[in-house]
Amino acid sequence: MPITDLKSLQDHLQEALEIEHATIPPYLCALYSIPEGTNREAASVIRSVVMEEMLHMILVANVMNAVGRKPVIAKEGFIKPYPGPLPHSDDSFVVELLPFSEGALNIFLKIERPAKAGAPPQPERFHTIGQFYEAIEEALTRLTKEMGPSKVFTGKEAEQVPPGRWYYGGGGDVVPVTNLESALRALKEVTDEGEGLDHTIWDGDKSEELAHYFRFAELREQRSFLPEDTEKSGPSGPDLPVDFGVVAPMRPNPRSDDYRAHPAIHRQMVKGNRIYTRLLRQLQTALTGTPDALRDAVPIMYEFRYQAEALMRIPSPLSPGMTVGPSFEFDQNA
Amino acid sequence: MTTPQGSYDAIIVGAGPVGVNIAKVLTDRGKRVLLLEAGRASGLSYDGWLSYVDTYRSAVMKEPNAPYPPNPNAPSTYAQDVLNIQHKIPILSGYQVEKGPLSFASTYLRSLGGTSLHWLGTCPRMVPNDFRLKTVYGVGVDWPISYDDLQPYYCKAEWALGVSANKDEQGHFGIWFPPEYDYPMERIPPSYSDGVYAEGARKASVRFGDRDYGMTVTSLPQARNSIPRENYALSSAYGTKHVGERCEGNASCIPICPVQAKYSALRTLGQMDKNFYTLVTQAVASRLIINENGRIGGVEYKRYESEGSNQYQTGTATATLYIVAAHAVESAKLLLASGAANSSDQVGRNLADHPFFLTWALNPTPVGAFRGPGQTSEIPSFRDGPFRTDFAAFRIDLGNWGWDIATFPPNSNVYEAAAANTFGKTLRRSLGQQIPRQLRVGYVIEQLPEPGNRVTISPEFIDPIGCFRPVIHYNVSDYTRKAMIAANKVSNALFHAMGIPDADIYTKFTPDSPGYMTYKQDDGTVVPLSFFGSGHHMGTHRMGVSRTDSVTNRYSRSWDHENLYVVGCGGMPTTGSSNPTLTAVAMALMAADDMLTQLG
């Protein structure tokens, strides 16, 4: 069913926000499972992708604020459970929380897979994230034409996260959204960084970086792309060795409930969930009118990282040889 | 291996922050530059940098040179070599030979990027009266340039080094900025403990002579990445993308910023046009060749193949201009070894540091010690004032790393607790009660130019490839010792105003600490003192107005050789109390303008 009115467009943008967020926990689990000083190339790739996913959340939030809808982040249900499909997708694959591994990379590649040339926009039950965004872009353009820009872009400029200030550590930058042109530019940045620009392996940023899909493809093939390589040719450059053997053996899809019988571990998991929930609350504040609150989100991110890494060192009593890991659950009491 | 090719417009000896910033100016104008660097080039790859980080992490002594493995062919002094000189003179254990009477407690690094690999990044400007000390206060000497002369180059240097600060907080004692100017990045946020100090400082006051002095806490300009202002292109770590685009609070600025959010000379090197410069590392300049007409005709260097062997080849490189930027001690050594630029007999003399006087205490409540950059705020209140006729100016650094080098926590706390047979939960509780409350205040004190404080060379002291080791003669005069007495008075006033009882002030000066010394007060009582090195080697080739008592003119050009420049902190006639790298880079950029004029 196509997007026919502004409310439906706003709902779809909220869904986009949930989709972007849904990619972050699996990437963070892989990243934090890599001990410092090992798999440096892989860690750097995953870190750059996860930074850009955070950028995508901001970009979507800017579009939402511009079209008069407040993003909802710090709420039960915003985090979708793992294992599970990407929210609002066609359920064609299951996203899991895994340590850095071949299994994790296969999921990452499915998340970031490029749409086939000519694939239709899909506002519901999308196959690729790109097709979902295409439906949003189409609706945004159509509704702006039908209703007039002043009826669509009703947000306050002060609510927009500005460029060059709070976002760093990854490619691209924040686009403040005030009209159709900037809205489309913001959404294009999201899809270009993910699946590549116009069916190339590049993300279209000035920095000439690979799109996420192809960065992960390098890791799976353990080989780098050369500039002349294409999606079809695959990577033909130098070796890019990875070592799965040194990774923290996190038990897949941690859930705090699984550890109820182990209060000391349960307590540590709850601690992690509360930090993560505090982070969502801080983002909620920042993305609903006070962008400068993003500054204080950063220390919470570090706090979460340290707790996640600590959890990955705790041996799991449920599966000998494995460790516990962060469970990314919303905690009302945070 | 890269080798020099043909003749260059300029040869720069030393690829530290001063040398590479001159190289950047010259290459930007299409001049061909040869950079000769004594040390290794490890920092030139991101992996090389990470190997430094690994070395740091596994080091037992986290001292300023800990991440950078010893290089026998371009040796550096390590902090553990700086012993208490009372035990033995001369000290021969390290690279620098200490002749006393006090040990020169500072180290530097001979490696690509120089000491900017391990500096803290603090970048205050000097105050206008620092440049006219003789005229205003009747001590030291005047500079051949004023603050106003250097001001435009301060602006350029702050952009070159990437300094974070807000100019409206930096107008101390006549420091001014052009109306259209601001620092390239917004200030680094002050730490929590800065706020605790600020509250006390508001109430604190101290009397010197017939004047009462108040105290204020202000943000400290720092060469570390923060939020960029318009038009400033933020830099990532050398050789990789998206790393270090903000300070992450790793709290290891000294000896290494793991993400390179702190400026190092490698960053400038990465911004230079490769078509215009040649970088030759592992090449120790050993002699300047002086032509009959007095011009420099070449630089002789020793190129070693590996750090594992003392085999080397001697080469000579030639250029129109020669720029010695090898560090205050190394530059003096090279000039002395060449018999160059020394008709004034000032080369190597007037060696100064900022003796670093520390006081430490426990705050009544936790201040969040050990978080963030080494320091984020200062008390600038004693950088200038009428007291300078009597004792030295000082800048007050408010440390963020607990008691830091005063006692080396947290290890020292653990040792003490273990010695008291404390363990388990009691140990954790006692550490938790102490460490987060630790306050450490550092006083960066001026030292006057004194001819007896000097670097010399002697055939008796030679390194493995036949270059001279520096021989250091060093003392601290009463002008500076008296400032330490004043600093201690300021410290007590500050701590008391913060509600700290005497029992929680732990400052002590024991005869076994490296910088132990005493001061005889006017009433005849002898009081103990102690200082640490700031790593600010200055004064060994000072600029001046006359060729009879200085090594270079105001453009850092040698009075004796018109195509020779000697640049760096060694050129400073007096030291003020500002960390000197920013000023040295500003002086170097001023010199670079003169070089461009000469080159046409």
CA geometry: angle A53, A56, A62, nearest 5 deg: 155
Amino acid B83: pLDDT: 58
A224: Cβ contacts below 8 Å, ≥ 6 apart: A218, A235, A237, A238, A239, A240
pTM of the model: 0.94
What is the CATH code of the structural domain delimited by B1-148+231-353+458-476+537-600? 3.50.50.60
Q: For every residue of B263-288, which 3-state class applies, written as one string?
A: CCHHHHHHCCCHHHEEEECCEEEEEE
Inter-residue long-range contacts of A264-269, CB under 8 Å, 24+ positions, other chains counted:
A265/A314, A265/A316, A265/A317, A265/A324, A268/A307, A268/A310, A268/A311, A268/A314, A268/A324, A269/A311, A269/A324, A269/A326, A269/A327
Contacts of B243 in chain A (CB under 8 A): 44, 169
Predicted confidence pLDDT, tens digits, chain B (600 residues): 677 888 899 999 999 999 999 999 999 999 999 999 999 998 889 989 999 999 999 998 888 999 999 999 999 988 777 655 555 666 677 899 988 899 888 999 999 999 999 999 999 999 999 999 999 999 999 999 999 999 999 999 999 999 999 999 999 999 999 999 999 999 999 999 999 999 999 999 999 999 999 999 999 999 999 999 988 999 999 988 889 999 998 999 999 999 999 999 999 999 999 999 999 999 999 999 999 999 999 999 999 999 999 999 999 999 999 999 999 999 999 999 999 999 999 999 999 999 999 999 999 999 999 988 999 999 999 999 999 999 999 999 999 999 998 998 988 999 988 899 998 999 999 999 999 999 999 999 999 999 999 999 999 999 999 999 999 999 999 999 999 999 999 999 999 999 999 999 999 998 877 789 999 998 999 999 999 999 999 999 999 999 999 999 999 999 999 999 999 999 999 999 999 999 999 999 999 999 999 999
The domain ranges of chain B are 1-148+231-353+458-476+537-600, 184-220+355-445+477-530
Collapsing DSSP states into helix, strand and coil, what is residue B471?
strand
Contacts of B47 in chain A (CB under 8 A): 40
The first and second tokens of residue B264, run together, are 């190092």
Amino acid B1: pLDDT: 63
Establish whether domains B1-148+231-353+458-476+537-600 and B184-220+355-445+477-530 are of one fold: no
CB contact under 8 A, A207 and B241: yes
CB contact under 8 A, A171 and B50: no
Which residues numbered 233-292 in B keep a CB inside 8 Å of some CB on A?
234, 240-243, 245-246, 248-249
CB contact under 8 A, A169 and B246: yes
Nearest residue in chain B measured CA to CA from A162: B227
Nearest residue in chain A measured CA to CA from B54: A37
Distance (Å, rounded) from C-alpha B17 to C-alpha B125?
16
CA distances from B422 to B100, B374, B504 (A): 41, 30, 21
Amino acid occupying residue B100? G
Say what angle helices B17-28 and B581-599 make with each other, to 10 degrees: 30
What is the CATH code of the structural domain delimited by B184-220+355-445+477-530? 3.30.410
Burial A268-280 (b: 16+ CB within 10 A, else e): bbbbbbbbbbbbb
CB contact under 8 A, A37 and B54: yes
β-pairing, B319-324 vs B8-13, is parallel
Distance (Å, rounded) from C-alpha B536 to C-alpha A219?
46
Picking from B558, B533, B599, B587, the residue whose alpha carbon sits closest to that of residue B130 is B587
Distance (Å, rounded) from C-alpha A189 to C-alpha A212?
12
Which residues numbered 28-47 in B keep a CB inside 8 Å of some CB on A?
47
Predicted confidence pLDDT, tens digits, chain A (334 residues): 789 999 999 999 999 999 999 999 999 999 999 998 899 989 999 999 999 999 999 999 999 999 999 999 999 999 999 999 999 999 999 999 999 999 999 999 999 998 888 889 999 899 999 999 999 999 999 999 999 999 999 999 999 999 999 999 888 999 999 999 999 999 999 998 887 777 788 887 655 788 899 999 999 999 999 888 888 888 999 999 999 999 999 999 999 999 999 999 999 999 999 999 999 999 999 999 999 999 999 999 999 999 999 999 999 999 999 999 999 999 999 8
- CB distance A168 to A294 below 8 Å: no
Biggest CA-to-CA distance, chain A: 62
Amino acid B231: pLDDT: 87
CA distances from A154 to A147, A150, B514 (A): 12, 6, 67
Distance (Å, rounded) from C-alpha B106 to C-alpha B554?
27
Picking from A203, A200, A178, A201, the residue whose alpha carbon sits closest to that of residue A189 is A203
Domains of chain A: 6-245 (1.20.1260.10)
CB contact under 8 A, B234 and A168: yes
Contacts of A302 in chain B (CB under 8 A): 248-249
Nearest residue in chain A measured CA to CA from B250: A302
Distance (Å, rounded) from C-alpha A183 to C-alpha A67?
9
Amino acid B594: pLDDT: 98
Bridge partners (DSSP) of residue B396 are B379, B443
Rg (CA), chain B: 23
CB contact under 8 A, A40 and B50: yes
Bridge partners (DSSP) of residue B35 are B12, B279
Distance of CA B261 to the CA centre of its chain: 18
CB contact under 8 A, B241 and A171: yes
Say what angle helices B147-161 and B17-28 make with each other, to 10 degrees: 90
Bridge partners (DSSP) of residue B473 are B100, B454
